[in-house]
Amino acid sequence: MGNEASTVHADGAATDLPASQRAMNILKMIEFSKDPRAGMLESRDQYGDLFLLESHLVSEKIAGFCGPELLAAFDDKLQDGSIVREGAFPSGIVALLGAIMPTIDGEEHHARKAAALEAFTPARLDLYAPLIREIVQAEHASWAARGGAISLACLTREMVFRIFLKVLYGVERHDANKFRVLLDDFIASIRRS
């Protein structure tokens, strides 16, 4: 697996991936890095549910798999330890982001996943609803009061960020712009790196 041109199918047998499911193209990899979701969908449509993007210029390869059977096989391999998350990301990304869920395994991953899922239980969502409604109503009222032309895309983005700050961190509106600029700069620096 990994850097080899073979794969493990849902039945557990390793086989070579046919050329029709492999893209040897640096441009495909660049497109994928710019928009992974669109790259995954386009590659799936072109190569099928299982594919490999690779290039002679880049040592990293991107394996893609879609569909319930392949996802179930992947989850089974994660569960039995045949596949691990550790080492899946370039070391620079791990150094930048730290030990995040996509880079950890075992009990630490299970504990973090359980905590994240707990945040989305119906009882928790009922707690968030009034906060979200209050922010949305206040924002919509301020948009209506402005009059003239406004950018719904920009204003909605700021509103969603304010909702995240309030719900996740308890940060009030007056702090939002300072944090949004810091986050925007951080995201922009990742894209440039």
Q: Are residues 25 and 79 part of one domain?
A: yes
* 164 Cβ contact partners less than 8 Å away, ≥ 6 residues apart: none
Q: What's residue 126's pLDDT? A: 93
| Least-confidence region, from 20-34, 53-67, 79-93 | 20-34
Nearest to 179 by CA among 191, 163, 193: 163
Q: In this structure, is residue 92 part of a structural domain?
A: no
Structural domains in the chain (count): 2
Q: In this structure, is residue 184 part of a structural domain?
A: yes
Whose structure tokens read 């009034």?
130
Q: In this structure, is residue 60 part of a structural domain?
A: yes
Q: What's residue 141's pLDDT? A: 94
Q: Are residues 73 and 15 part of one domain?
A: yes
Q: Are residues 74 and 130 part of one domain?
A: no
Q: Are residues 135 and 66 part of one domain?
A: no
Strand intervals (E) in the chain: 6-8, 14-16, 22-24, 50-54, 62-65
Q: In this structure, is residue 160 part of a structural domain?
A: yes
Is 132 a residue whose pLDDT tops 90? yes
Q: Are residues 130 and 71 part of one domain?
A: no
Provide the edge-to-edge strand list for the sheet that holds 62-65: 22-24, 50-54, 62-65
Q: In this structure, is residue 91 part of a structural domain?
A: no
pLDDT band at 176; cut points 50, 70, 90: low
Q: In this structure, is residue 97 part of a structural domain?
A: no
- Strand-pairing partners, residue 63, are 52
Q: 17: how many CB neighbours lie within 10 A of its CB? A: 17
Q: Are residues 128 and 64 part of one domain?
A: no
Q: In this structure, is residue 64 part of a structural domain?
A: yes
Q: In this structure, is residue 19 part of a structural domain?
A: yes
The domain boundary, picked from 26, 56, 83, lies at 83
Q: What's residue 7's pLDDT? A: 46
pTM surpassing 0.85? no
Q: Are residues 79 and 145 part of one domain?
A: no
Q: Residue 76 belongs to what domain range?
A: 6-83
Is 11 a residue whose pLDDT tops 60? no
Q: Are residues 126 and 77 part of one domain?
A: no
